[in-house]
Amino acid sequence: MQALGIDIGGSGIKGAIVETETGKLLTPRLRIPTPKPSKPRPVAEVVAEIAQHFGWKGSIGCGFPSVVQNGVVRTAANIHRKWINTNAANLFEETTGCPVYVINDADAAGLAEMKFGAGNRRMGVVMLLTIGTGIGSALFTDGHLVVNTEFGHLQMNGKDAERNASDAARKREKLTWKEWSKRFDAYLHALHWLFWPDLFILGGGVSKDFEKFKPYLTVETEVVPAQFLNEAGIVGAALAACTYLGCT
């Protein structure tokens, strides 16, 4: 069973054909920079370019950095505000000629990790965090997804947590891993006291550097890197497309 998974991020749009029975990528990942500004039509054209690159005609799953309700974008923290109230599913179907399912990008990554990765067979409360341009979140209780959580916007010191603790903040302020990890650890402590998760899974761009900041984390909850690293969004988007649209 196959679907095309696409992960739309603040800096890049990535896609690959996924074998949804195993979570394996069947093709090399294609990455195209996110258009600047990231308005709906230019982003949709990149999605179509990725589909055309793979010669794809079947179901497409798109992970999107926003709250998504029935295909409609509701927030725009790290994308252009023109997206708000845009029916992304309809727009992508128009440009690709394929059936498209749109899901919050962190929720997509969480689906991949819970089925095939670090969250497999884990019960209780599991929270996945994608750390990149912003901070995305996916919350699971006994394997069931609570959709559209936005814990990156948790207020800390009067600001969204992602303004201080995302990978973009680390790069922007030229922080060492130790300096950045103190901020991120404080964020994990705040989430721990609010939700008491049994497991944190860290995905996104910093997941490949987990060993560089792991020694500085003091939160009681178990913390592990995502096994799919930066490919979880692609795999999870494909899984969502298979679930809701059917697979090729």
Is residue 114 in a domain? no
Q: Which domain holds residue 51?
A: 2-107+231-245
- Distance separating alpha carbons of residues 53 and 103, to the nearest angstrom: 22
Both 193 and 142 in one domain: the answer is: yes
| Domain containing residue 174: CATH number | 3.30.420.40
Tokens standing for 12? 């890049």
Both 202 and 240 in one domain: the answer is: no
Both 103 and 172 in one domain: the answer is: no
pLDDT at 9: 87
- 4: buried, middle or exposed (CB in 10 Å: 19+, 13-18, 0-12)? buried
Chain segment 182-222, per-residue pLDDT in tens:
999 999 999 999 999 999 999 988 889 999 999 999 999 99
Mean pLDDT by groups of 10 residues along the chain of 248 residues: 94 95 96 95 98 98 96 92 97 98 97 96 96 93 96 92 94 97 97 98 91 97 91 95 92
pTM for this entry:
0.93
Both 239 and 221 in one domain: the answer is: no
Beta bridge partners of 47: none
Crossing angle between the packed helical segments 88-96 and 40-53, to the nearest 10 degrees = 50
Both 240 and 218 in one domain: the answer is: no
In degrees, rounded to 5, the angle at the alpha carbon of residue 232 between the alpha carbons of residues 165 and 141 is 80
pLDDT at 247: 87
Cβ atoms 76, 83 nearer than 8 A: yes
Is residue 115 in a domain? no
What total number of domains does the chain contain?
A: 2
